[in-house]
Amino acid sequence: MADPARAKRLSKRISTIVASAIGQEIKDPRLAGVTITETRVTGDLHDATVYYTVMGAHPDDEPDYAAVEAALEKATGVLRTLVGAGTGVRFTPTLTFARDTIPDAAHRVEELLAKAKAADADVARMRAAATPAGDPQPYRDSEEP
């Protein structure tokens, strides 16, 4: 098992190499909106999992995840060659690509927070218009009979 610091350095280097290769060297139009978010390398430095996110051409567009996955699968050999040349390690790690679900989860949390904020605003409006259920002054003064 390799030193954890070495594995971390290698994963950062792989992220940099793969991101620059996708942006500059691989001319597949399906990879236009791909962003590399993280890379994790196993303890023996033989396998690397590259996490990516995909943005659509417009903010409202849903990205084509299947096309991006196929393009990354097709480019895996070229990317592994570039990683091997750029890292200089004895054994070039195999590359596995996985879609990063953190942005989707963050978007879902933001939606839930907006829904909770709207519900709080409704409760505040109802509270402002509420009147007491019983007497307006439930406590009796001692001077009253």
Check if the beta carbon of residue 74 is closer than 8 Å to that of residue 27.
no
CATH number of the domain residue 70 falls in: 3.30.300.20
pTM of structure? 0.73
Q: Is residue 49 part of a domain?
A: yes
pLDDT tens per residue, range 114-141: 999 999 999 999 888 887 777 667 676 6
Encoded amino acid at 52, one letter: Y
Task: Examine the pLDDT at 55 and tell me if it is beyond 80.
Answer: yes
Rounded to whole angstroms, the Cα distance separating 49 from 10 reads 12
Parent domain of 19? 4-101
Q: Is residue 83 part of a domain?
A: yes
CA dist 47 and 33 (Å) reads 25
pLDDT tens digits along 23-33: 899 988 888 88
